[in-house]
Structure 1
Amino acid sequence: MLGESVLTTFSACRNLALVRADISRLPFASSSIDAVHAGAALHCWPSPSTAVAEISRVLRPGGVFVATTYLLDGPFALFPLLRPLRQNISQISGSHIFLSEDELEDLCRTCGLIGFKYVRNERFVMISASRPR
């Protein structure tokens, strides 16, 4: 039954395209995409700022970015002065980059997205923001 429901949903959405691409070079024209979803991926990107800027570029005015990721926790979250050190260590070691809610909001704002919202469940968070109309 679930399979039939999914097929019906895809049949009703003839303009739906699922694309797997390099987050730093999305294969879309500027202002051409209605929505971008990044499921449990943001903390894996080598440069979250480059990725979110690219997402902002391809979103049409009013387009929505939705993502899920894990949040920064522990001493780095408590001491903002340690954040640059944490990010440098993460980039050099190739490990994951975990951000706080404030950093995620700043990232979206810096990349031109507005209306930042989040829903947190312990260390897991879902965020959304949109490109201004």
Structure 2
Amino acid sequence: MAVRSWITELVGGLRPWQRGVLVVSLCTLALSLWFAAGNTDRYLNGQTAVTEGYVYCESDWSCRGEWTLADGSWGQGSIDGLNWYHDEEAIDNIPLFGGRDWAVTDRETLLRHALAEYTVALAGAALITLIAWRRSKRNQDPHASIWA
């Protein structure tokens, strides 16, 4: 019950517009968790793959192509991590890690991105909560110490 009373005290001390900002800020951080969960799922459930046929890359290193997955199924779509940007490359057997509609050249980038996104979400939630707590205390008693 201590957590519930702490949350009630926190939210109760905020002005209505501050409550709205708190909710919007925390919901925005949920997007980071959504992307982190997606990268974690890809890291755990992807397969090794190799390219088949043409791989098309635009000038911003955004590449698309087709690949064969380890289970024999096909995939096609975006390929992240290729470091060249020619109009078309007819190179087969570029090693990838992917699924049916995504692929990366290095599986570890998925893990690094997921860890960064989890870190941003946790640090952001802590910072937002600290700011809201200080605002709540200041609104309840303008002369009280905001660090108490």
Regarding TM over 0.5, the answer is no
TM-score by length of 2: 0.28
Structure 1 or 2, whichever has the larger Rg, is 2
With normalisation by structure 1, the TM-score equals 0.30
